[in-house]
Structures are given as C-alpha cells and as structure tokens.
Amino acid sequence: MNQNNQVDIEYRVAGQPHAGKVLAVIGPHSDDFSIFAAGTIAKLIDEGYTGYFIRITNDEMDSYDLSTGETILANERDTQAVASVLGIKKVFDLNYRNHYLDEVPPTEIRNRLIFLFRLLKVDAVLGFDPWGHYEENPDHYVAAQATEAACWMAGGRLDLPEHFEAGLTPHSVQEKYYWARGPQLVNRVVDVTGFIERKMEAIRANKTQIRNMALSLRDRLATRDLTLPWLDGDDENVIRNYVDLVFRARDRHTGEIYGLEYAEAFHYIGPGEQSGAFLARHLEEHIQKNAVPLDKDSR
Amino acid sequence: MNQNNQVDIEYRVAGQPHAGKVLAVIGPHSDDFSIFAAGTIAKLIDEGYTGYFIRITNDEMDSYDLSTGETILANERDTQAVASVLGIKKVFDLNYRNHYLDEVPPTEIRNRLIFLFRLLKVDAVLGFDPWGHYEENPDHYVAAQATEAACWMAGGRLDLPEHFEAGLTPHSVQEKYYWARGPQLVNRVVDVTGFIERKMEAIRANKTQIRNMALSLRDRLATRDLTLPWLDGDDENVIRNYVDLVFRARDRHTGEIYGLEYAEAFHYIGPGEQSGAFLARHLEEHIQKNAVPLDKDSR
Amino acid sequence: MNQNNQVDIEYRVAGQPHAGKVLAVIGPHSDDFSIFAAGTIAKLIDEGYTGYFIRITNDEMDSYDLSTGETILANERDTQAVASVLGIKKVFDLNYRNHYLDEVPPTEIRNRLIFLFRLLKVDAVLGFDPWGHYEENPDHYVAAQATEAACWMAGGRLDLPEHFEAGLTPHSVQEKYYWARGPQLVNRVVDVTGFIERKMEAIRANKTQIRNMALSLRDRLATRDLTLPWLDGDDENVIRNYVDLVFRARDRHTGEIYGLEYAEAFHYIGPGEQSGAFLARHLEEHIQKNAVPLDKDSR
Amino acid sequence: MNQNNQVDIEYRVAGQPHAGKVLAVIGPHSDDFSIFAAGTIAKLIDEGYTGYFIRITNDEMDSYDLSTGETILANERDTQAVASVLGIKKVFDLNYRNHYLDEVPPTEIRNRLIFLFRLLKVDAVLGFDPWGHYEENPDHYVAAQATEAACWMAGGRLDLPEHFEAGLTPHSVQEKYYWARGPQLVNRVVDVTGFIERKMEAIRANKTQIRNMALSLRDRLATRDLTLPWLDGDDENVIRNYVDLVFRARDRHTGEIYGLEYAEAFHYIGPGEQSGAFLARHLEEHIQKNAVPLDKDSR
Amino acid sequence: MNQNNQVDIEYRVAGQPHAGKVLAVIGPHSDDFSIFAAGTIAKLIDEGYTGYFIRITNDEMDSYDLSTGETILANERDTQAVASVLGIKKVFDLNYRNHYLDEVPPTEIRNRLIFLFRLLKVDAVLGFDPWGHYEENPDHYVAAQATEAACWMAGGRLDLPEHFEAGLTPHSVQEKYYWARGPQLVNRVVDVTGFIERKMEAIRANKTQIRNMALSLRDRLATRDLTLPWLDGDDENVIRNYVDLVFRARDRHTGEIYGLEYAEAFHYIGPGEQSGAFLARHLEEHIQKNAVPLDKDSR
Amino acid sequence: MNQNNQVDIEYRVAGQPHAGKVLAVIGPHSDDFSIFAAGTIAKLIDEGYTGYFIRITNDEMDSYDLSTGETILANERDTQAVASVLGIKKVFDLNYRNHYLDEVPPTEIRNRLIFLFRLLKVDAVLGFDPWGHYEENPDHYVAAQATEAACWMAGGRLDLPEHFEAGLTPHSVQEKYYWARGPQLVNRVVDVTGFIERKMEAIRANKTQIRNMALSLRDRLATRDLTLPWLDGDDENVIRNYVDLVFRARDRHTGEIYGLEYAEAFHYIGPGEQSGAFLARHLEEHIQKNAVPLDKDSR
C-alpha cells in the first residue's frame, strides 16, 4: 500500500475544545455503539462534542431466547440505555432488517443519512471501516459505505436539493473514525484509559446482546462437557464477567501494542484528506503562507 | 494492515483426525474445485473429512467450440468427474448464470447456502477469498461474500427459522480456507506434495474448460505465427501437457516460496477468529485455566 | 499482501511503438480524464495509441452556481475540450446519473462497455482502481468494477453473442492502468515530465469543475475570514492558479518519491497477469523455449 | 376482458370434506388475516382443512402511539391471538419490513414460500389478488406475486432441488382464493353468514391495528370539531364498535349484492385453470370419458 | 371488474372553494404536465389551489436534434415555461434518467415524494394511472406507483420519522386524479372547455418535445414521399399547428364522448376510498347521523 | 375499461404483401413459440415476413426426467426444430435462467432487445401480453414488459447511441401481437385454419416439454389410480396424442367463439396506437386530406 504506516496517538485534551461540534455514531447494531468506540465517544463528548446515535438495523436477530418481536423491543431499549450512559443527546433508529442490509438499495440508506447529517450538522462520524478486510457481516460494510458516501454528498448543493426548502443547508462531514474487527489500515489510536469504566458500563447496558454472547459461550462449553463457574450467576453478574473477560481485555491488548493502558484503534480521515494527506497538508501550507484577511466590504 | 504476517504451514497429519467432520467446497465454476484447492481437498478427505461440492454457476460461458447448451451439459458432467477423482460424496449445482452472479440478489444465494450448511452440518468451507484484490471475475467475489456471510448466519436461531420445522438445526461453519488469484493476505500454506498427482488428475477431469484454455493459447500463438508442438496432439495429450505446464508449475512455485515441494496458499480463519486471533486465543486461555467439568444434573 | 512491492518506472519511448493500438479511458466524471492520467494518456497517444474517452456519468452534480441542466451541458462541452487538448478521437458519453452509479445494475454498464471494447478493439484501458482503499465516491468503484469485468468478458465467444451478427468479434483488453486517490498497491509509475504542460492545459479545460473547486476553497476560507489574493482574479486566472497549486504540485510530489520530475502512479496489470505475474512469465518462457513457426498449410 | 363474468357462490358444506387438506393464508400484515377472509378461513377449517398463517412483514408501522419495537411486539402477539380465534395450527412470521416489501428481491420471498408450501404440503392459499387494481400498498401486490409464483414452482422437480435432500418433495398448490380492496375480477363469493361472529372476534383480536384505525378516525373528526360518542369508551368498546361499524357493514354489503346475509368476495383459480377454465374442463371431460383403472403391476 | 361504471363529470365551480389547498402534479416528463391535464390543473388553480410540479426525470432523450446536454437544459427551461403559463408556484426537478426509471429503487423515489408531500402539505395529486393498461413507457408506471404509495405513507407517524425533527408533520394526500394513454377505468371527466386555450399555450411551451413530435412526423411522411404544407413553417408555427392538430383534437374527442366541448378523463380516487367507495360513504353517513360537537375542554 | 370491445378478425391474405418486412417472436420459453402463436407466425411468414425467434431463458426447469444440463441442451435443440418447422431464419438464445427472469434488471434485457430490433430491423413482434391478468409465471410478464419498452426505445436517437457507430440505425417496431393465458383485452383474432397442421407439427417439435406435460398428466392420474390408454405408447405417440388433445382443442375452441375453424387470439397494437386508436386514425385522416408530394429538391 502506498500509504505510510504512521500511527498517531490521540490523547485526552483538556477543556472543551470541541464545544459546538457534533458527532454521529453510525452503528448497524446496538452493541456496535458500545463495543468498538465507547471510549472514544465518551472522550469526545467530554471534550465538548454533542453526540448522536444512528442505529441502522432493528437488531432483530440478536437475543438468547426471545421471540423476534421481543428481541427488537429489548434492543431498542438497550440502545437508549447505552446512549444514556455515554451522554448521547438522541438516538435515531432506522430499523432496517438485521442481517439483510445488503438487500436495501444503497442510495436509500445514504439519502436518509444525508438528511440526518444536514439536520444535525454533523462534523465527525464514527463507524465501521468500509475497507475492514474479512468483515463477515454485510450489515457492517453496507452501513460503512453508505456513511462514507453520505459524508461528502451531504455537502452537495445539487444533491437532494428539496431539503433546502425545509430550512436545511449543505453540510459535509469533516472527520471520520473507522473501526474494524479484522485487518485494517490503522493510523489513529485513541487513549481511552480515563474512560474505560464508562465504556464497560456502556457495554453492560447492551444486556440482551451480551447475555446472548455469554450464554452462547456456556452452550459451546457444554458441548465439551465444561463450564465456567461465573456462568452460573445471575444475568447481571454473567454480563459483568463476560464484558471484563472479553472487552476489557481487548482494549488492554490494543493499548499494550501502542504503550497505553487502554486504547481503541481506528483508520482516521481528517478534513480534506480524501485525496491523500499530501494535498491537505500542501494546501494548508499555501494558505498559511499566502492568505490575507478577507475584506468583507469588497465582496 | 494491522495483522501480523505470520504464515502457518499445514502439513499432512496421520490417521483420520477429522473423521465425522464435513467440508464443503464452494466453487462458482467447475474448474475452481480442481485448480485452486484440489490438493488440500484431497488431503482433508484423506484425514477424515466427508466432502461436498457446491457449484454456484452453470459454467455456460466456458468451452472452446460448443453451443451454450452443450457447454452447460459438458461442464455438469466434468464436475461429477472431478468430484469422483477427489472422493466427494455429492455435488450440488445451484446453476446460476456464469458471468452474471453479480446480478443475483446476495441474500438469495446466501439463503440457499445457509440451508445447505445446516443440512450437511458443514464444519469447514473452502472457496474464493472475498478480499482477493484485483479479482476480475464478479462470480468469484460474489460467491465468496455469500459464503462468508452464510457461514455464521447458518448458526442463527432467528435466521430462516422455518428450516427447523424440517428437522434442521442452527449450525455455523468453524473454519474457512480462502484462495485467491491475485494479491491476498496469505496466512496458511498447505503442503500438498503427497496429493499432487491426484490434483493433476482432478484438473484434467475438467476437460471442457482445460481444453478451452489450451486451444485458446494455440489461437493466441497463431496470431504470432507460432505454435507449440504438443498443441497438435489429441485432446487428452493437449490437456495433460497444459495442466503440467501451468498448474503443476504454479503449485511448485508456491511450494518453493515456503520451502515445500508443492503447496497451495490460503487466507485461513479458524474458530472464533472473526474478531481477530487475539480474542480467540485469550478466551481459550481463560477456559483452559478456569473451566470446570459440567455437572449435567444441576442444569 | 503476497505481492512483491516492486514498482516499475515507465519512461517515454521513442517513435510510435504503439501505432495501431487503441486505448480507452473510462472516467466516471469529466475531470477524471484530466486530473489522474492526462500525462500518461498524452504520452501513450504520442507513442502511437489511438485514444477514446468513455464518460460514464453526466456530471450533473458538479458546478459552482449553475442549474442541473446548465451543469450537464457545461460538463459535456468541457469533456470535448479536454479530449481535444489530448488528441482523443471520440468521446462516448454514457450519461448515467452523477453520484448514483451504485444504483445502476452492474451488468448494464458492463454490457455497454463490452460492446464498446469490441467496437473500438480496445487494447488498453485507464481508469479508477477497483481496489483503491477508502475511495468515498461510489461512482469511482462501480465504474472500476464494470471496466475490470468488461475487459475480459469482451473476449468471450458466448458473451452477448448477438454482437457478432453486427460484425463485431470477441476482443479482450490486454493492459490496465488503474489510478486511485487513496491507499493503493502501486506497481507502475509513469514519467510524465515531458507532458506536464499538456496535462495542465487539459485540466484547465475542465473549467466548470475546477472553478467549482477553486470557488469552494474561497468559500471555506471565508468562514475563517481569510482569502487568497489570486482568488479575486477572473475565472481564467483563478483556474490557472488553482490547477498549478494543486495538480502540478501533486504530480511533482509523486515524481519526487520515485526520483522523477513529474509522475503519475498506477496499479498496472499486463497481458496474462490476471492470475499473477508468475504464470504470465512462466508461460512466456515456455513459449520462448519451445515454440515453433506455425505451418499454416497444415491446419 | 375475455373472461365470462360468472360468479360462483360457495356455500358451507356439511361434514369435513376437506379433511387431510392444508390451507395457508399469506398475509403481508396482521390484520389481513382477519379483515379480508376470516369468514372463509373459519368455514374451510370447519370443513376439515388444517390452516397456517404466513405473515410476510413485521407490521412495524401500524400502531397508534407505540414505539417501533413496541409496535412489532404487539402485532406479533395480536397475530397469535387471531390465529387462536380461527383455529390456526401455526403462524410463520417472515418479518420483512412493513411498507418496504417492494425492495426485497422477489425471488427471496418466493423461495421461502416454496420451502413452506413443500414443508406444509399446502393445497390451497388465500391472499391478496396480484391483479387488484389501484392497490396502493406495495406490500400487498408484492406478497401476492410471490405467492402466485411459489404456488406452481413448489411443484418443480428442478426448482431448489436441495430441499429434497431434507425429505421434502415437489408439491404444487391447487387452489387460490384472492381478495382485493379495489376493482377486481370477482368470480367466487363465499357465504360466511354462519361464521360472521367468529370473524368479528378475529378482527377484534387485531387490537393494536384496529385501535389505530379507530383513534385515527377520532383525530380526523377532531379536525372537523366533531366526535362520535362511542370513541370515548375504553379500548375494548372502541374496538368493538369500530369493527361492527366498518367490517360487519362491509361483509353485509357484499352479501347484499349476491343475495346473501354476509359474504366475502374473491377471484378464485382452481386446479389446472392457470391457462383458462376451458382447458381444465376439457381435459377432465376427456379423462372422465377415456380413463381406465391403472394396472399398477404393469409399471 | 366489480366496480360500477359510473362516470362523474367535474364542472368548473365558482369562486375559490379550494383556497388554502395544495396540489402537486407528478410528471415523469416535461410534456406530461401540459398534455394530459393542463386543463384540469388550470381549473383547480383557478378555483383556489396552490400548485406545484414534481418532474421525475431529466427528459434527456426527447429532442429532435440536440445533444444530450442541450436536450436536458432545453427541457428544464421548457418546464419552467409550462409552469409559468399555468400559474404553478414552483417546479421540483428530481432529474432521474429519462427511460430508466425502472432501474431506480422504488423506495428511493417514494421517500423523496413523501418528503415533498409533507413539506408542501399536498392535498391532491395528478399523475399517470398506475393501472393504465398497455402503457409502454416504464417511466410512466414507475412514477405512478411511487406516487400512489407515497400519498398514504406520507401520513405515517412511523414512516421516515426523522422528517419530524426538521419541523415537518405526517400528512397524507386525500385526492388523486390519474390519467392514462390507453385502456383505463375512467370514472371522472373534467370539463376543461373554459381552459382549453390556456392548455394549448401550455403545450406549446414544451417547444423542444413538441418540435420533436412534429419533425418526426415530417420525417415519417418523407418515407412515404409526402409532406404537410404547414410542416415547412418556422418552429413557432409548426408547433402551433401540431398542437392544434393533435392535442386540441383529442380533448374535443374526449369531450364529445361525454357531451362536453373539451374534456380530460381520469380515474379519480377521493378521500377514504382506497378500500372502495362503499366504505367511505358508509362511514360518512354514520358520522352525519351520530357525530356530536367535540368538547375540547374534556380532552 | 374505456376501450371499445371491437374484435377484428385477421384472415389469410393472398400473395406476399409483407415481403421485406421482419417479425420477431419473443418467447421466454421454447414452447411459447409453438403453443400460442405458431399459426399466426406461419401465416405471416407465408405472407412474406422474414421471421426470427428470440428465446429469453434457457428452459432449464422444463423436462420430465433429465438433469439440468441435459434439459437445457434438449430444449436448445427443440427450439431449433420448432424454428425449422415454421421457416424461421435464425434463433437468438438469450439464455437467462428459467423461472428467474424477475431478478434480471429490466434494463439489461431491454437493452439487448433494442440491439436486436435495430440489428434485424424488426417491424412486428409477437409475445406475451404485459397485461395478461393472473399470469402466474414471472418469466412471461417480465419478458413482455421488456419487449414493449424496447419496441419504441429502439427508435430513439439518444438511446444507446453507441450502436450507431457499428452501423445500426434507430428503428422502432410498428406492430405488436400479444397473447395471454388468462383474462386479456382481446381485440384481434387470427384465422389459422390453413396453418393448423403446421402448428401441431411445431408444437410436437417441443418434444422435451410436451413429453413433460404428458407424463406429468400420467403421474397425476396415477394418484387417482387411473390412466389413459394412449399414455402407454412410445414418446412420439404420447406427444402426438397430447398435442391434439390439448392444443388442437384450444385453438378449435377459440375459433368457435369467433365463428372460425381454428383461431389464435391477441391484443393487437398497430402503428401509432400507443396513445389510443383515435389519435392514430385522426392523424392519418389529416394526412390523407392535406398531404402533398414531397419536393425533394427543396430540402
């Protein structure tokens, strides 16, 4: 790959430098909001961002022993609980079918995201990496591609211009944090050490899906005639143990690689970098050297 | 890529350690079964696996001088011949149009694979790498994506639950061997030295498609006013020469890179590795350290 | 990636070694023809190629202050101007909707390209890299995938055989130059030093889209209460300055990496390399060693 | 239309002439099972049929004041209640998105219906008329077209043959009762006089959707500064009044047209009539005249 | 068809009974606004309606001798001219590709119409009949189906609820006038005698498309070695003659059938009639008989 | 329906009035060419037409006991045999999947038909009625809609203009004969009395599909413990008997309705009638009255 392999570490910054800015987390499923980036979300909100969740599917497939209708309702409520833990202002549920996002026309999802990005004036998005190799869940890459395209098309004067009649204005998204489950071009690692307990709490709020993971582990162990003592506890304890065993360990592991206590890894794309970092830097250097104050009267 | 570049060598193992296990080879086309992985297929069956072929297309485009109908029938029969050489138990022909797999809804192919994985209780699949860069044939990546998603959805309690009324049960696929024609994240190389003659025989059983390759080479050479003496032989000899020239050479070349006589290369994903190898290993270590025998009476 | 990282430099060659050969540039948008590869296009035409443009979309979204209809007409005319600068024989406008290429059935675009590749007897294509990571514009990767598949299907005897009734013949494309905006497996860098002024002129011919870029920069600067003095000039000067600032700089930057004055970078795939460079080379070595003159009388 | 306008009246028949036969009602939405054909369903089950419901969507859009998740769960439960009133053996919920059935690939729904028709050995279906003119809800006509095609393809030996490995056999549906909301070629009217109270009870079991209809009527009246006294009652009474006002009245109206007390109207297609009633009748006459007992030993 | 064949005549009414109401004409193409319903549009606006045009395609295929870009711009301008003649407040151009509307996902067009119907608070629509038999242009029936579904879904509280965050509210369309070119269930004929000259002027404003019709007629006549004297005039006269010859004649012909001077024919669906006229009438009779004034304080 | 119910009888005409004209029969399946219109095809060819078959699918589902590959080849050959009986010049097999035509993008099929209509300069088409009510086979209505749209788009100067570079010219189809299996707006009945034996021979040439029909009838009778004596004969006799029993009877039945010995029924659309017969007639009357000889020199 013709990309340098430099990885930037993003540390917590003091104060509220991002006050007035808006972030949206685009999660195909309820537990995507907590598992992959809750530390970074908590940090960015702590630094001033106003945050929104956009949940793309209805999570209808993910529970241990509920009916489809019960599963959907439980996950709808869990998402609100995750949002509450992280200080999210509002959740938008798009409610597409879980596991079936690759049969929704890409432009349909995209158009709804363009509307939301304009409505909320989103500055930064967090979501799945559209180029996360060996991602097995189509919901993940379909949501990622729709997000990526909506980020810049939302800025288009001639894209869905009827929105402007309702008082919206063109508004493109400037920063993207992409997470992945498998191989990815990581170039940004966020130090979430100060937010790890908040993150663990957020993940535990996905009780329907975490309980499914834990009890499925119990069932797999049973086929080997084994069990883990903590799997016999009540739901709250099972969930707490599972979250620490798996998710705390993973963020610690990521941290170790980069010399941090706990970390989340991303492919990050900043303002103007869609055609490579060189052009963004080159242009900014030109501006720094040559720009003059705007004489507003003369225009 | 944030993935270590370790490549594991998979050697032949003695006995039948895989007895009772089932593998399915998902080939968009008849010659995919023989060219890319026949050595590994032969090895795994030799080690105990029961094997199935799932042929996704009808191979209607691939012959030298047959009509479309003749081409389809010839390749249907060749596939049976390849299966016979490799000891495959049954071939499932899905018969989608060759070269047109990207216009079939992804969920339709996937749903049929979910049914087959549950029906056959498939433990391992072999097929094209969904992330094989610069793969020019849409049939290849479409089949690969459908396979990848079906592997885990087949384990879902709420996915296509009507199947369970017919006696099937949720069943997810645990191991995946992905091959590619171009750049790929190779992490598993299989030593097929002991199975190379079986593989050559399997490829020769694809006589319709290999004959097409050989006679097309002859035609290309003719535009340069050249020929190769062996291209004037009868079909059997032309096919034998072509297979040795091209396919034996390629496996020898792959072997040389990894210090083996003959080898096939894959991106391999093992049980629990869909979110990275770390979590799979970490969880197993926890189980090794903490698991206790299951007291079945207490449940 | 199991691909060596060797990068070949393609220098200008004397004379017209490519006389009689045909190239097609597949650009989703009008400015793709000039920005990414105009140097290489100019060089290849200078070396004997006959060149065609195939513009996939109608560029309806890209202008600074025109209506949709005015934008389409302006870009239609600009494309002709770019073609004229570069000595292109003819432009084919397919006129799909700009920003919406991912809702066109892939086979529909592909079938039209197959027709054009057969009609024009195309030997080489230039276009977007179908594996250019983090490409945010769906028009780019959709056009790229259609091109890639059409290149080899155009050679199929049983693909769209009705074309042959109109006098066309099977004809596959032998060489591909793929450009990208983001991370890419670059293996070919073209020295365009001698063609850089032609390229700058070609880019300036995209006056509608370059003016949009420049005035959008002016608007972004205005939100920081800044401007650049040259942004107050007439359109011609604004365009000239912008093109030098951005596009001349980028090709110089690419050149520097590879020790050239100005360069364009590509992923290149040559004849017979679709299954890897090894097989292409191995086969050619066999031919060199064993081929005999074709005795035409004997056939 | 080249179809005679004869309308057959289907009266209740004594005994259980349909014992051993199976019917499936294909309803896109929960209230379709009760509103359009509950009288006929009750009558046919009374006459011996075993009945199944296949609910195509998740009814996520239809409630008065519930969240999406609550709406889905409420309608899932209401459907079970309707089934219980009518003596239905089992409900299959396919759970596609309400209002979005026209973006599901037709073959995907059809393939699932083919599986179900084979699994349940369905002899008769009831559902929307695929040719009901001016039907404004795409869910209705998409479900109808999928049903119609699945009815005969389920009998195909070469359609989805993998089903036969799971013990299913080809099985085509012989009779179809199609209902419609608007203009339709009615040729069968069912006397449901004896089942009207059961039908009213079934409709009331759709309490979520009927309550929505009633309270929406209240809201519309409020915009005219009017109300109806019974709209102030508790939910049970509101629902009872609404069902009598609207649905009892409609079936009485249909009955009046055909000289019955209460009736439901259909376009009916019987065994062998897919190419017109003439051929079915002509063939049966030939059989009556010429058929001989089958000498089973000779085959 | 189980629909009575009564045809209602809609005469001009005095005053502005429709003041405060909004109509939208949904035309796939520029000339649909003028040819099929300009008389009714003019009449309804004269009676108080505020009117909007929603043009679905970009009309790129329809001109006599312009390039694609020129054609699009010319038709964009002609549509404004038609709107101006008829007193339309604003034109919304959706700009889908002419002749290709059947490859746009139906939900994408529908979602945009739902947004517009809510934004403009549309009370009545005019457009193609989704059940106009033997309609050969897919643009016509695709636009019609999208319109029909959007009319009621726009009233849904759970359909695209993000719109409500931008200040829109659920709003369903109450009246539909559907026109057709071929066989149709006509039930409403509008007397446009007083608006025929305005209509002729509106049609002449589609000068690009009418000129294409007229000169194509000239070309067809030329193949018979004939011409019509008026076809040699200037464009303005050719257009005037053609419009009188064809379109004035057709409305006169429709008028003759129903005893009027000039008329336009529709399939009309009024408030509450989606499940048939009986229920709408029955419900209104119940309201007339039983409704009481709303005691607003008690709620 | 606002269409008069007049039915025109088309009798055999003497001589070769159609010499120089071209017809294409668009059949989704092999037996569609013979069963529905072989009499009319034979008649029109006898009257001078040159005829072509365009077979849309590969007929892979239709045989009694063959594999998929064998079925496709058998039907490919049968179609040639039917063509031979009827004097058809050439068969074009598009080879889409039988039973799956509704998952092919409509524009893809249409574009291929546009190419063929231009290539062959088709004047008349025969095919399924796109408005044949209760048609249960999606292959039938999808092929019909594609045909209908291609007929006029083939005449478009701006539709697929790349065709014109290969020497084709815009060419629209003037006449359409649509057949149907169910209710249809019949307005043309063709007297095929003189061609009935040729038709029976053509149907018998579909031996694979007719044998499937006959032996399926035998199997259905066997479930009633019955058989027909002639069903025990050899294939040739079984086919002959079945064809006479079913297809001869049907054409005789159609004939009886219209006072003919044998007849085929159609919905016919003639030149210029796409907007109704009135305008076509009105325009022609104007031409008859006002047209003058074309002075070619003056243009």
The tens digit of pLDDT for each residue in B38-53 reads 999 999 999 999 999 9
| Number of neighbouring beta carbons within 10 Å of residue F46 | 18
pLDDT at C175: 97
CA E270 and chain centroid, separation: 16
> CA–CA separation, F39 vs F37, rounded Å?
5
Per-residue pLDDT at E275 exceeds 90: no
Residues F60 and F68: beta-carbon distance below 8 Å: yes
Asked if E157 reaches chain A (Cβ–Cβ under 8 Å), the answer is no
The pLDDT of residue A1 is 64
Residue F212 backbone dihedrals phi, psi, to 5 degrees: -60, -45
Written as six digits, the tokens of A138 are 């189509």
Token pair for residue E100?
A: 């290709």
pLDDT in the model for residue C277: 83
Option in A138, A221, A250 nearest B287 (CB): A221
CB F204 within 8 A of CB F240: yes
Residue type, A163: H
Structure tokens belonging to residue B106: 């992804």
> CB contacts < 8 Å between B and D, how many?
39
The minimum CA-CA distance between C267 and chain B, rounded to whole Å, is 10
Q: Give me the pLDDT at residue D56, please.
A: 98
Q: What mean pLDDT value characterizes chain B?
A: 95
pLDDT at A296: 67
pLDDT at residue B297 greater than cutoff 90: no
Record the tokens describing residue D169, joined without a space.
């056999």
Mean pLDDT confidence for C177-182: 96
Residue D11 makes CB contacts below 8 A (sequence gap 6+) with D191
- Is the Cβ of B113 closer than 8 Å to some Cβ of chain A? no
Residue F121, pLDDT > 70, answer yes
F94 CB near a chain B CB, below 8 Å? no
Q: Residue B4's pLDDT is what?
A: 58
**Distance (Å, rounded) from C-alpha B241 to C-alpha B262?**
18
For chains C and F, CB pairs below 8 A equal 39
Q: Is chain B adjacent to chain C, meaning 3+ CB pairs within 8 angstroms?
A: yes
In the prediction, which pLDDT does F199 show?
A: 98
pLDDT at D85: 98
> Under a CB-based contact definition with an 8 Å cutoff, are residues C71 and C119 in contact?
no
DSSP H or E segment with residue F155? none
Quick check: B173 and B123 in contact, CB under 8 A?
A: yes
Distance from CA of A297 to the nearest CA of B (A): 51
Alpha helices in chain F (DSSP H): 32-35, 38-46, 68-86, 106-120, 138-153, 196-205, 207-222, 235-243, 249-257, 277-290
For C113-154, what is each residue's pLDDT tens digit?
999 999 999 999 999 999 999 999 999 999 999 999 999 999
Give the HSE-up count for residue D194: Cα atoms under 13 Å, Cβ half-sphere. Answer: 13
* Contact residues, A window 41-70, toward D, CB-based 8 Å cutoff: 58, 60, 67-70
Query: What confidence tier does F276 reach under pLDDT thresholds 50, 70, 90?
Result: confident
| Residues B247/B263, Cβ–Cβ less than 8 Å | no
pLDDT digits (tens, 9 = 90+) for E95-124: 999 999 999 999 999 999 999 999 999 999
The verdict on F17 touching E (C-beta cutoff 8 Å) is: no
Of all residues in chain A, the one with the smallest CA distance to B276 is A182
Option in E131, E275, E287 nearest D221 (CB): E287
For the cut 80, the answer to whether the pLDDT of residue F46 exceeds it is yes
Q: Which residues pair with F190 in a beta bridge?
A: F10, F264
Strands (E) across chain D are located at 8-10, 22-27, 50-57, 90-96, 124-128, 175-179, 188-191, 226-227, 263-269, 292-293
Sorted by sequence, the CB contacts under 8 Å of residue A239 that are 6+ apart come out as A204, A207, A210, A211, A214
What's the mean per-residue pLDDT of chain E?
95
Rounded CA separation B254/B265 (Å): 7
Closest by CA position to F25, among listed F277, F247, F264: F264
Stretch (H or E) spanning D282: helix D277-290
Please list, in sequence order, all residues whose beta carbon lies within 8 angstroms of the beta carbon of residue D288, skipping any fewer than 6 positions away: none
| Closest by CA position to A269, among listed C133, E47, C271 | C133
Nearest chain B residue to D165, by CA: B119
User: Does any CB of chain C come closer than 8 Å to the CB of residue E103?
Assistant: yes
DSSP per residue, F162-199: GGGGGT-------EEEEE-SS-----EEEE-GGGHHHH
CA distance B196 to chain D (A): 32
The residues near F289 (Cβ < 8 Å, ≥ 6 apart) are: none
Spacing of C-alpha C117 from chain mean position: 15
pTM over 0.80: yes
Chains A and F touch (3+ CB pairs under 8 A): no
- Nearest-by-Cβ selection for C112 from F116, F162, F166: F162
Predicted pLDDT at F274? 82
Contact F136 D151 (CB under 8 A): yes
CA atoms within 13 A on the CB side of F237: 7
Q: Which residues of E touch F149 (CB under 8 A)?
A: 99, 136-138
The per-residue pLDDT for A179 is 98
pLDDT, position F284: 93
ipTM exceeding cut-off 0.90 for this assembly: yes
Per-residue pLDDT of chain A (299 residues; tens, 9 = 90+): 665 568 999 999 999 999 999 999 999 999 999 999 999 999 999 999 999 999 999 999 999 999 999 999 999 999 999 999 999 999 999 999 999 999 999 999 999 999 999 999 999 999 999 999 999 999 999 999 999 999 999 999 999 999 999 999 999 999 999 999 999 999 999 999 999 999 999 999 999 999 999 999 999 999 999 999 999 999 999 999 999 999 999 999 999 999 999 999 999 999 988 888 889 999 999 999 999 999 866 55
| Among D266, C73, D182, C293, residue whose Cα is nearest residue E4 | D182
Our measurement of the distance from residue A135's CA atom to the centroid of its chain's CA atoms, rounded to an integer in Å, reads 15
- Contact call for residues E227 and E218 (beta carbons, < 8 A): yes
Which residues of F are less than 8 Å from E227 in CB distance?
291-295
With contact defined as 3+ CB pairs under 8 Å, the chains touching C are A, B, E, F
3-state secondary structure at position B269: strand
pLDDT beyond 90 at E263: yes
Q: State the nearest Cα–Cα gap between B108 and chain D, in angstroms.
A: 5
pLDDT band at F4 (very low <50, low <70, confident <90, very high): low
Q: Taking a C-beta distance cutoff of 8 angstroms, is the pair B41, B86 a contact?
A: yes
Q: Is F244 on the interface with E (CB under 8 A)?
A: no
For residue E297, give every residue at least 6 positions away whose Cβ sits within 8 Å of its Cβ, in sequence order, or none.
none
The residue among F46, F56, F39, F60 whose CA lies nearest residue F17 is F46
Mean pLDDT of chain F: 95
CA pair distance A101, D104, nearest whole angstrom: 11
**Nearest CA-CA partner of D143 in D68, D33, D251:** D33
Q: Mean pLDDT for chain D?
A: 95
Phi then psi for residue A27, to 5 deg, are -115, 125
Q: Which helix (H) or strand (E) holds D203?
A: helix D196-205
Residue whose token pair is 């020929």: B227
Question: Which residue is closest to F184 within chain E, CA to CA?
Answer: E133
Residue A284's contacts (CB-CB under 8 Å, 6 or more residues apart) are A272
Percent of chain D with pLDDT over 70: 97
Measured in whole angstroms, the distance separating CA B58 from the mean position of its chain's CA atoms is 16
For residue A298, report the phi and psi dihedrals to the nearest 5 degrees.
-75, -5
Q: Is D151's pLDDT higher than 60?
A: yes
E123: closest CA among E45, E63, E194?
E45
Which residues, at least 6 apart from D267, have a Cβ–Cβ distance to it below 8 Å? D129, D131, D177, D178, D180, D184, D185, D186, D187, D188, F134
Would you state the pLDDT for residue F227? 96
- Cα(A57)–Cα(A30) distance, rounded to whole angstroms? 8
Of the partner residues F92, F107, F165, the one whose CB lies closest to the CB of residue C162: F92
Contact C3, B182 (CB under 8 A): yes
**∠ Cα F203 F205 F210 (to 5°):** 60
**Chain D neighbours, 3+ Cβ pairs < 8 A:** A, B, E, F
Backbone angles phi, psi at F15, to 5 degrees: 75, -160
Query: Is the Cβ of A253 closer than 8 Å to some Cβ of chain B?
Result: yes
For B91, name the nearest residue in chain D, comparing CA atoms only.
Answer: D162
- Per CB-CB distance under 8 Å, the chain C contacts of F112 are 111, 160, 162
